[in-house]
């Protein structure tokens, strides 16, 4: 977009399209700590921007965002992973826009965050709501962590079998206990939490030894 006071000033690290087919927005986040909302019909300038700062009685922190993910079906609440290892809840609209919760557990940049998808109709409303609060995060601290963002501010599980930076982690779009993770050694790991939380159910290797990231696929 052209230069403007509300656009990003650093490289965009993460984005996600939210909304309906007829009314959608593109949400982008950057290492400058800025979150922007764009209309997909007009990408010349953002419709809205928020500078993400976390303020407490002890400190004020500006977040260099590296990853983001929205709660399934929500266009207001999202979770971001930061360069300093924090995972934060962010509200775009409302009286408390900006960072509303902070979760700490990583010791390196958070390269991936993914909220649990709840597309399977075999679950009750209560079960679906419970799964909506589950999040995965991947980090340069050689770990993947599982969070229950409604119940705890610290991870409920940590997958620490990696020997290199973890680049990304994504839930399976249909199987609720399955996710995949990729690391900088070129491994692609498939985890099934119904079988084990100690080791992946399957590991494949990328012969090119290239860094990997994953996109959602049905």
Rounded mean pLDDT, 73-78:
90
Q: What is the mean pLDDT of the chain?
A: 86
16-25, 74-83, 103-112, 188-197: range with lowest mean pLDDT: 16-25
pTM for the whole structure: 0.85
SS3 139: strand
Q: What are phi and psi of 55, to 5 degrees?
A: -115, 135
Q: What does the chain come to in residues?
A: 218
Task: Give the separation between CA 39 and CA 30, rounded to whole angstroms.
Answer: 17
172 contacts 139 by C-beta, under 8 angstroms: no
Rounded Cα distance between 29 and 13, Å, is 6
3-state secondary structure of 132: helix
Task: Please report the pLDDT score of residue 62 as a whole number.
Answer: 77
Q: Is residue 125 packed enough to be buried (19+ CB in 10 Å), middle (13-18) or exposed (0-12)?
A: exposed
218 has a pLDDT exceeding 50? no
- DSSP-assigned letters across all residues of 84-115: TSEEEEEESSSTT-EEEEEEE--SS-EEEEEE
**For residue 141, what pLDDT is reported?**
95
* pLDDT score of 217: 46
Average pLDDT over residues 192-196: 94
């Amino acid at each position: 977009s052209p230069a403007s006071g509300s656009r990003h000033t650093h490289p965009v690290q993460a984005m996600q399209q939210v909304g309906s087919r007829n009314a959608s927005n593109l949400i982008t986040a950057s290492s400058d700590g800025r979150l922007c909302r764009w209309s997909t019909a007009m990408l010349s300038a953002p419709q809205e921007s928020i500078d993400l700062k976390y303020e407490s009685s002890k400190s004020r922190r500006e977040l260099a965002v590296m990853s983001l993910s929205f709660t399934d079906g929500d266009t207001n609440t999202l979770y971001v992973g930061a360069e300093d290892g924090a995972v934060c809840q962010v509200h775009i609209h409302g009286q408390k826009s900006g960072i509303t919760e902070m979760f700490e557990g990583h010791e390196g940049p958070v390269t991936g965050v993914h909220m649990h998808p709840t597309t399977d109709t075999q679950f009750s409303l209560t079960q679906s709501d419970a799964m909506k609060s589950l999040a995965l995060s991947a980090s340069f601290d050689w770990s993947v962590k599982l969070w229950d963002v409604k119940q705890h501010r610290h991870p409920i599980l940590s997958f620490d079998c990696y020997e290199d930076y973890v680049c990304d982690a994504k839930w399976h779009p249909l199987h609720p206990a399955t996710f995949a993770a990729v690391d900088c050694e070129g491994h692609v790991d498939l985890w099934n939490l119904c079988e084990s939380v100690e080791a992946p159910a399957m590991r494949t290797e990328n012969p090119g030894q290239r860094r990997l990231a994953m996109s959602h696929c049905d």
